[in-house]
Amino acid sequence: MSDSARQVFWEGVYSSKGEKEVSWYQDNPATSLDLIALTGASRGTAIVDIGGGASRLVDHLLVKKFERITVLDLSAAALDAARARLGEDAKKVRWEAADITQWNPPAHYDLWHDRAAFHFLTEPADQIAYAERVKRAVNAGGHVIIGTFAPDGPEKCSGLPVVRHDAASLSGVLGPDFELVDTRRHDHVTPWGSVQRFQFSTFRRGK
């Protein structure tokens, strides 16, 4: 899928569906919050949520008083939905509408979080471009948390093919500068009750 087609597709999804009408909806992103806590993140930690869209992770981070939050998504409609939900609190967040494979990070971050964005990048060139953005954006000593469909998880999402991953395949994409510090499985229950098997891996950047 081309960059422009990818954007049109996701704008269509978020413009036509409510937040509980998509399979990845979570009211409480407990696994992500646990992994963020595991990194030792504090209120001043600079966090970027890749593919955050209309996700409620940002709501929980604001409740926990995190002060340097960026949410990036390809869909401006998804970001608009999150801003509308947060009201005045939306002003405490930096919002970036961009394709991650083309994004020019405007800052450096201590923590990169991605739940269910990377697995949509099925082309090796897009995976390489993603890894290049990680290397540009994440500080030495910073952490990268990536959640994807597990090797025994779904082969498609929203009608699109995905690439399923484990810690080893993600390590291969990120390269030797990133040390694996945690890996765990998570069974996500969709709003209509089906189970999607996820794999979350956390890496620490050495240099």
Q: How far apart are CA 50 and CA 70, in angstroms?
A: 9
Residues β-bridged to residue 114? 50, 146
Residue whose C-alpha is closest to residue 75's, from 6, 121, 161: 6
How many folded domains does the chain comprise? Answer: 1
Angle at 171 between CA 165 and CA 176, to 5 degrees: 170
- Give the pLDDT of residue 10: 62
Q: What is the largest CA-CA distance in the chain?
A: 43
Give the tens place of pLDDT for each residue, 32-76.
999 999 999 999 999 999 999 889 999 999 999 999 999 999 999
Closest by alpha carbon to 118, among 192, 169, 83?
169
* Tokens standing for residue 37: 């806590």
pTM of the predicted structure, to 2 decimals: 0.92
Which parts of the chain have pLDDT scores under 50?
none
Tell me which residue range forms the domain holding 87: 3-205
d(CA 200, CA 30): 12
Please report the pLDDT score of residue 98 as a whole number: 95
CATH code of residue 120: 3.40.50.150
180, 203 Cβ separation under 8 angstroms: yes
- The pLDDT value recorded for residue 54 is 87
Q: What is the DSSP string of 102-118?
A: T---SS-EEEEEEESSG
| Amino acid 13: pLDDT | 65
Q: Angle CA(65)–CA(74)–CA(104) in degrees, nearest 5?
A: 80
